[in-house]
Amino acid sequence: MTNLNAIYVDDELPALELIKNYCKEIPEINLTACFTRADQAIEFIKTNPVDLLILDIEMPEISGIELAKIVHPDKLVIFITADPTHAAQAYELDVIDYLVKPVFPERLTKAVRKALDFFSFQESSNAKDYIIVKADYMINKILITDIQWIEGFGEYLKIMTRFKQYMVLQRLSDFSEKNIKLGFIRIHKSYIVQRENIRSYNSQFVVLKDGKQLPIGRTYKDNLK
């Protein structure tokens, strides 16, 4: 069975100890470290394998939501907070779960197992005929052959498929680096396409199989060769 390497960040020591004890009873999780400050967690993540972050939201200097934005989407996130008013903002990040204090063991276990399901789903995609993304509060499996183009909007990207579109919290540059071996090519600062979906191109535009034209950026022309 796969275990998740996790860390917990909460500036309240009693809550820290409580969740730490709960995690000891959950076989699917390996709680490798606990921190009272977000900057400590950031430094730890740089040199240690971490799959899951369990985060309090209201913390000094760097909030849990700000920390999630820094490490997301490479890490899974579960929020734990005493204030339910943060729910909408938290779910915009497509986190795994949102728990309101007081947290009970069975509720934390359920959240961890949701995280494990998503992690296992990602691992099973190693055949690489599809990608896994979190969008619309759901885990989505998208066939690579269905993807027409991908457009970047700052911290978000829009994946256009033959059937629908997905808004995903991920920078276009991060997606490009992670999936370059899957036939995706960057043609512009704002666009990625599937090589197999290109019908033709010239020095200025790519024409996709559905007739869609997308611009080619000067610095990305060599990617099409």
Return the CATH number at 175.
2.40.50.1020
Return d(Cα 28, Cα 25) in angstroms, integer: 9
Instruction: Give the tens place of pLDDT for each residue, 102-142.
Output: 999 999 999 999 999 888 877 665 556 888 888 877 778 88
The parent domain of residue 42 ranges over: 4-125
Q: Quick one: 133 and 93 in the same domain?
A: no
How does residue 91 score in pLDDT terms, banded at 50, 70 and 90?
confident
Helix (H, G, I), strand (E, B) or coil at 88: helix
Give the domain CATH number at 42.
Answer: 3.40.50.2300
The pLDDT of residue 183: 86
Q: Which of 94, 125, 156 is the last residue of a domain?
A: 125
CA distances from 89 to 80, 98, 99, 103, 222 (A): 13, 11, 14, 20, 40
Q: Are residues 165 and 113 in the same domain?
A: no
The pTM (predicted TM-score) of the whole model is 0.68
Contact of 56 with 12, CB cutoff 8 Å: yes
pLDDT of residue 90: 76
Same domain, 113 and 163: no
- Widest pairwise Cα distance in the chain: 63
Identify the helix (H) or strand (E) that includes residue 27.
none
Tokens of 127: 């055949």
Round to the nearest angstrom and report the end-to-end CA distance of the chain: 43
Instruction: Tell me the HSE value of 168 on the side-chain side, using a 13 A CA sphere.
Output: 26
Q: What is the pLDDT of residues 147-190, one digit of tens each?
A: 999 999 988 999 999 889 999 988 899 888 888 778 899 999 99
Task: For 29-83, write each residue's pLDDT tens digit.
Answer: 999 999 999 999 999 999 999 999 999 999 988 999 999 988 866 789 999 988 8
What 3-state class would DSSP assign to 47? helix
Cβ neighbours for 76, distance < 8 A, ≥ 6 positions apart = 4, 51, 52, 53, 95, 96, 115, 118, 119
Same domain, residue pair 59 and 144: no
Domain count, the chain: 2
pLDDT at 126: 54
Angle (deg, nearest 10), helices 38-47 and 64-71: 20
Model pLDDT for residues 18-40, shown as the tens digit of each residue? 999 999 999 999 999 999 999 99
Rounded CA-CA distance 96/169 in Å is 13
For residues 9 and 118, membership in a common domain is answered with yes
E strands, the chain, are 4-9, 29-35, 52-56, 76-81, 97-100, 130-135, 138-143, 147-153, 156-161, 165-169, 184-188, 191-194, 198-201, 205-208, 213-215
In sequence order, what are the beta bridge partners of 220?
Answer: none
Please state, in angstroms and rounded to a whole number, the distance separating the CA atoms of residues 176 and 189. 11
- 125, 141, 160 - which closes a domain: 125
